[in-house]
A and B are shown apart, each in its own frame.
Chain A
């Protein structure tokens, strides 16, 4: 006798029918176009809200999240450059030590 409960059999039947169709659908160009359009719309909406709040905050001489993010990015770039210089220095130092041992 079938051991799976009836609700499970119903779900599996639905999933067998719908799942592969949806998987096919997300692989189509039409879906990619729609999803990209929706993502773009979302981005533009966020930009509009940010630009409005930026104008408002700047009017009161207050920093916005964007200002903080911009500063953080600049600090990150500096930190990365410092990290790269440190790495190079360490490698030069290691090579020097190896030469001395040789």
Chain B
């Protein structure tokens, strides 16, 4: 019998029809309940809940060390976030957290939170982060953990900062990991083409406080997926009855809308050096009054790339391995998006196990 006629008969089967009506009624009731909670802002899921201590502060930076009773590796891991997003994405929700996964695997995890820049940070250049803040944070991690070196893991633009830092100050980094890090900015689409020579003057994007407002950053991310927001709302309506979906939806949307301003001086340098001149791709970037060469990176390198990343597309993230001098370098392409690289169920299967396996293979166990 043809499948379609069997399906049609099933659809008009009174028992099946009654079951579907009952299911839809239940779902609509749950939609109503969850919709009210969502609109009223009730029941927001807690974010960044893994127990941690603030072990060091400097200017607006905070260094968090996550508590663990099962540290098995001597080399600490320092997570470095981008300058435009909040660092709690590394520890989004219990059961969906990169930090939690790493702790379970026995690593000593530190996260560097840049804080929210204001007018006092408008003059922060790239060199402020790579030659001043990161070296200080690295010293703090080594002093607190008692280790001689660390594994640095930079996400998105945090990966760029980590690369430039390690190239200029290679001694304290034993391993370097980059996740969704832009290398060839000519492949980045509107994020760079809008500020290309002769289009928008980057100075006009800078707000009253000397920084690029968070709303500009948020809109530029939205532009990359024009139907993304509508699709999100459709998804929300379709799954509004599902408590588990609602929790992860609210966690992700809270983070995605929680952008922070981009310090003005660093933004202008980023546009001129990395955007317009695409210097990261050449391997040499002049910052802090001298040339920083990616070829000076000799430690083991793992570059994780999202094949479905719409913010840093595959073509924009590839090629890092060719620019460094490390003998041990791995490029891992995962079938994920920009955040899905380490957040969500598929990350727990596809990215986190190989990431931690690689770290295990490159780290000594506690004696």
Contact = CB atoms under 8 A, between A and B. Distances in A.
Interface of A: 1, 4-5, 8, 11, 15, 18-19, 22-23, 25-27, 29, 31-33, 35-36, 39-40, 43, 69, 72-73, 76, 79-80, 83-84, 87
A33 B208 contact: no
Contacts of B144: none
A87 B61 CA distance: 14
Nearest to B119: A76
A80 B224 contact: no
B226 A23 contact: yes
A22 B59 CA distance: 42
Given A26-B223, A39-B200, A76-B122, A1 B10 contact: yes
B210 interface: yes
Interface stretch (B162-170, B188-196, B277-285, B289-297): B188-196
B143 interface: no
B258 interface: no
A31 B210 contact: no
Contact of A23 (B10, B120, B199, B225): B225
B47 to A, nearest CB: 28
Given A8-B234, A26-B190, A73-B208, A1 B11 contact: yes
Interface string B218-230: 0000011111101
Nearest to B187: A27
A19 B232 CA distance: 13
B209 A76 contact: yes
B1 to A, nearest CB: 15
DSSP class of A's interface residues: helix, strand, loop or mixed? helix
Contacts of B234: 8, 11, 15
B7 A19 contact: no
Interface string B222-263: 011111101100100010000000000000000000000000
B238 A19 contact: no
B7 A1 contact: yes
A56 to B, nearest CB: 22
B362 interface: no
Contacts of A40: 200
A79 B194 contact: no
B364 interface: no
A26 B224 contact: yes
A73 B209 CA distance: 7
Contacts of B5: none
A84 B121 CA distance: 10
B123 interface: yes
B25 to A, nearest CB: 14
Nearest to B231: A15
Contacts of A11: 231, 234
Contacts of B230: 15
Contacts of A1: 7, 10-11
Given A80-B120, A80-B122, A33 B199 contact: yes
B227 A15 contact: yes
B119 A32 contact: no
B119 A29 contact: no
A26 B189 contact: yes
A20 B226 CA distance: 9
Contacts of B210: 73, 76
Interface in B2-58: 7, 10-11
